[in-house]
Structure formats: C-alpha cells, structure tokens
Structure 1
Amino acid sequence: MPVSSMTGFARFEGQADDAAFVWELRSVNGKGLETRLRLPQGFESLEAEARKRLGARLSRGNLQVSLTLDRPENLSNFSINQAFLNELLRLSDELVQAGRAAPPRADGLLALRGVIEVSDEAHTADWFTQRAPAILDGLDAAIDALVAARQSEGAALRAILEARVDEIETLAQAASDDPARSLTAIQARLRRQVTDLLGTETGLDPARLHQEAAVIAAKADIQEELDRLNAHIVAARALLGEGGAVGRRLDFLSQEFNRESNTICSKSHAASLTAIGLQLKVVVDQFREQVQNLE
C-alpha cells in the first residue's frame, strides 16, 4: 500500500437528474481525522453518510468538505400571504383616514417581508431522495481523487524520508568507525592533557594512564546507542515499505532517533564524534519534519 500525505485537494462536478452539483475536498495535516462539512440548506441529512464514507477511506487529516448545488429555477414557487396582506391593508386604511400616511402602493406592500412566501420544492423529501444517491456517488469520486492526490505527494515524501534514513545510517557507521573511540586514541589524548597540565611526561604511570583511559572509554561508549539506531533504521525502512497510515509510528521512531543522537553527543569525548552527533541531529530533525506530513 502506498504511503500517503495528509495534504491534498479534489474537486468533482456531477449531475443528479436536473440538478448540477460540485464536491470540493481540502485536506491538511492533523493529529487525527477532523472533518468539517458545509452542505446546502435541506441537505443536512447527508452529513452522517458523508462522514462515514470519508472515515472509511481516510484515517488522518483536517478535512474541509463542501457541496454546492445548482437547482433548476422552476422549482421555486411564489405565493402571497393573503391574511398578512389583509392586515397590512387594514392598518394602512386606518393611518390614511387619520391623515397620518399616504395610500400605500402595491409594490411597496409586496416588498414587505412576509407578504410574498417562497416554497422551494428542491427541499421536499421526494426531490432529495431521488437525487441523494447520485450526489453521494459524486462524493465517492471526489474521495478517490483526494486519496490519489495524497498518495502522489506521499510517494515524493517517501523518497525524501528514505534519503534521510540513508543519511542516518551513514552517520551511524561513521560514528562506529571513528578512530577517536579506540582505547589507544583515548590514552594518547589523556597523555597530552596530563602533559599540558604538568608540563612534562616525567612521572606518568603507564598502568594508571591505561586504567584512567579505560574508565573514560567505558563512560563514553556509544555502542548501545549505535545498536538502537541501526534497529530503528531497519524499522523505519520496513514501515516505509509497508505503506498506509504509518505516520504515527514513524513519528515515534523519529523521537527515538533524536534520543539516541542526543545521547551520542552527550557521551562524546572527541570533536570528531561530536560533529557526527550534531549532524545526526540535523538529519533526524529533517526526517521528523517530513514525517509530520504523513497520514
């Protein structure tokens, strides 16, 4: 299964008998699946089924889903609220007879809110029931397009993440091969430090020097960290190969990568190893940043 990004856009235009409709789906990063639906008036009953279909195909991301509908104009019927109009005329006659107002005009009366009522047959149950299946089929097509868009971006992200994992592996190997980790190198460095302090090598006890170097080497040993790094590298490659919704698990691995990198830097006793550890932290941070985009 391909790796998917959480970012994407899809648009589907369709026809449901005499009504044209458009679905638009936008997706951005999110900790879980959060869906915001905007539906035309009268179509609120579609929301539950729409959420069900979105949830069946997508597991993470903040979604904005909108449906616009172009209804035929001849579906709207107009009627006059005769009782309301008669009451307005009665009140107008009283005001005119009292000399407090001029006789009302027809256009003025009809312009008052509530005099003309609009009944939209597009909101009737029969009209909606007949067209709902085609509209929901359009949603499925829009979801297909969104999934394809997210997978296309996911393929690009996978290549970037695999490159970062390769860099982590290279740096881990460089740390493992660093000559500064050897007991001989530690003894030489310790000898120089003592000589600089005393100003002479006279009186240095080789056995004591060896003992102190061994203690330093034990405290600075990073083999466990390197072993865990290599295990995480294998796990990251397996998840990228598995595909699907692996973003959360890769994010956990990125935290583990960062933990081992920090420990390597804290244990480092040589500039060369510190440089490797710092570069490792940079690459791990790049890895984690890209993982945030994965489903």
Structure 2
Amino acid sequence: MTAKPNTDHHPIFSMTGFAASESRFPAGLLLIELRAVNHRYLELNVKIEDSLRQFEPQVRELLQRRLGRGKVECRLSLKSDTITSTLALNPAMVTQIAQTLKDLQQHFPQAQPVNLVDIFKLPGVLQTEAVDGDALAQSVQSGLVHAIDELIAARQREGEKLKQVLLDRLQGVREQISIVKPLLPQLIQQYQDKLTAKLREALQAEDDRVRQEMVLYAQRIDVDEELARLNSHITEMDRILAAGGAVGKKLDFLMQEMNREANTLGSKSVAIETTRVSMQLKVLIEQMREQIQNIE
C-alpha cells in the first residue's frame, strides 16, 4: 500500500503580539497582560504581584506549553473591589502599635503626635475579607488561558500578513530572474566579441588561442547554475510557506543561500543589466530577511 503524502498545512505565526484578560471574582478583578516580541528562543519575563506569587510556577508552565519562540512579558495583578470588599481594623496589630507608640512617647516626650492616616498605611493594620484561594486559582487559570488564546490569535493574524509580504517579494525575485535569463546568451556573446577584438589587437594571438580563452572565460561568467539554484530556493520557500508551522529558522537559512547566489550573480556580471538585477535581488532578499526575523 502506497503511503499517502502529508498534506497537513499549519498557520504561520509572528512572534509579535499583545493580549489582555480580566477575570472578576468576589474579592476584585484579576488583570493579565501578555506582550511578545521576536527572539531566538522562548524567553519568559513574568511579573506578578506578591499576593499572586504562589501561581508563578503554574503561569510559567502554561506559557511554555502553549507558546513557541519569542520574548514574552506576562503581568498579573489584583485590583481590589471596594464595593464588594469590606475593611476592618486588625485588633491585635492596632494594640501592638498603640503600646509601641506609648513606650516611645516616654523616651521622646517632645515628639509630634502620630498621624492616624500614616498608621492606616502600615502593613497589617487593615484587614480585608479573606480571598477564596480556589476561586482565585481558577481565575488565574481561565484568565491566562484566555489571554494566551488571544495572543496566539493576534500572532497568527500578523503571521498571515508577513506571509503575504514574503510571497509578494518572492514574486519580485521571480520577475528579476525572468528579466536576466533571456538576456544572458546575447550579453555574453557581445562581451566575447568585444574581448576577442581587444585580445587580437593586444596579443595578435591566433584564432585557436583566442577561442580557448573565450571558452574559459565564458565558463567563469556563466550564471546558469546560480539562476537554477535561485529557482530551487524559490520553490523550497513556496513549499515551506504553504506547509506553515515554526518556519522562521528554515526561512532565515534560505535567505542566506539566496543572498549568496545574488552576490555571485553580481560578481560574474558582464553588463549593467545583470548588475542591476543582482542589486535588485539583494534588496528583495534583505526585505524578506527583515520580515522573517519576526516569524516564529
């Protein structure tokens, strides 16, 4: 039985994106923000306020499981709900502070009275209703999943835009190749005729010697192989973009190979037409390379 070819296609993702999520629970509002930019690998920068610090391992594990390459910043914070939460004095803490102030007053009788507002700001003086740990854990889980889903969707939309830019530039490369390829035989022949005349005049060489030199020179300036390799790279790039997935590193390697062929085409150039095509190819390849830096 013949194996069926793999026709699975996957979206292309940018490494740049932003997403935010809000989850309400009895004690307030949980705010989650995700920002991502391009990077060689996955780098997480998790910023969580102290009241949520216990969830950091859970947050990191979920981010690592769902995201590929990119430098990702994750912020988690709690915003207290003053409507639903009630404030109360912590009697034990207030008693302790009062006794301490009384003792200090004996040592520093000339000191100014303490401002009650300053006392309220001391840690532990005011206590709020205890936060339901299970409800908060569920809010963190669901809120983070939602934010990651939004980030992935944003990166996919941006990835599709990048893919279209690459396809447009790739078409430009095809057009440049179609310009230069038909001209090559004529350009080479014209250059050979000029060089033959100069050699005969300078060296007064025999026709066989001149013919041998022309054959060797024609081999050195023949760029058919470079154009063939460029076409091969174009075909491979089409295949990679169609398959999708994590293709950034593959495409970056292809850009290096295509740039090498464009440089060789320029170094072998014998006419302004091929020089111009070589320069335009390098511009298109550099534009593609810049876009590829943002692809996962």
Does the alignment reach a TM-score above 0.5?
yes
Q: Note closer, same or farther for the CA distance 1:88–1:69 as it changes in structure 2 (3 Å cut).
A: closer
1:193 to partner: Cα distance? 3.5
| Aligned mates of 2:176, 2:59 — CA distance in 1 | 48
Q: Note closer, same or farther for the CA distance 1:166–1:91 as it changes in structure 2 (3 Å cut).
A: closer
What does 1:154-169 correspond to in 2, within 5 Å?
154-169=159-174
Aligned partners of 2:18 and 2:34 also within 8 Å: yes
- Structure 1 residues 266-287: Cα deviation after superposition (integer angstroms, max 9, x where no partner): 1223322222111111111111
| 2:103 aligned to which of 81, 90, 96 | 90
Name 1:223's counterpart in structure 2.
Answer: 224
| Aligned mates of 1:135, 1:15 — CA distance in 2 | 10
Name 1:213's counterpart in structure 2.
Answer: 214
**How many percent identity over aligned positions?**
33
| Aligned mates of 2:235, 2:226 — CA distance in 1 | 14
Q: Secondary structure at the match of 1:244?
A: coil
- Structure 1 residues 229-259: Cα deviation after superposition (integer angstroms, max 9, x where no partner): 1221111111111112111111111111111
Q: Give the length in aligned residue pairs.
A: 283
Q: Note closer, same or farther for the CA distance 1:61–1:149 as it changes in structure 2 (3 Å cut).
A: same
Name 1:11's counterpart in structure 2.
Answer: 20
1:22 to partner: Cα distance? 2.0
Which structure is larger by alpha-carbon Rg, 1 or 2? 1
Aligned letter for 1:153?
E
Aligned partners of 2:255 and 2:285 also within 8 Å: yes
| Aligned mates of 2:119, 2:248 — CA distance in 1 | 58
TM-score by length of 2: 0.84
What does 1:145-184 correspond to in 2, within 5 Å?
145-180=150-185, 184=189
| Aligned mates of 1:271, 1:182 — CA distance in 2 | 10
Aligned partners of 2:94 and 2:125 also within 8 Å: no
Aligned letter for 1:56?
R
Which runs of no fewer than 5 residues in structure 2 stay unpaired? 1-9
Which runs of no fewer than 5 residues in structure 1 stay unpaired? none
| 1:188 aligned to which of 176, 184, 193 | 193
Q: Note closer, same or farther for the CA distance 1:144–1:214 as it changes in structure 2 (3 Å cut).
A: same
Name 1:252's counterpart in structure 2.
Answer: 253
- Structure 1 residues 6-53: Cα deviation after superposition (integer angstroms, max 9, x where no partner): 111112222134422221111112111112122122211222221222
1:95 to partner: Cα distance? 4.5
1:116 to partner: Cα distance? 7.2
Name 1:268's counterpart in structure 2.
Answer: 269
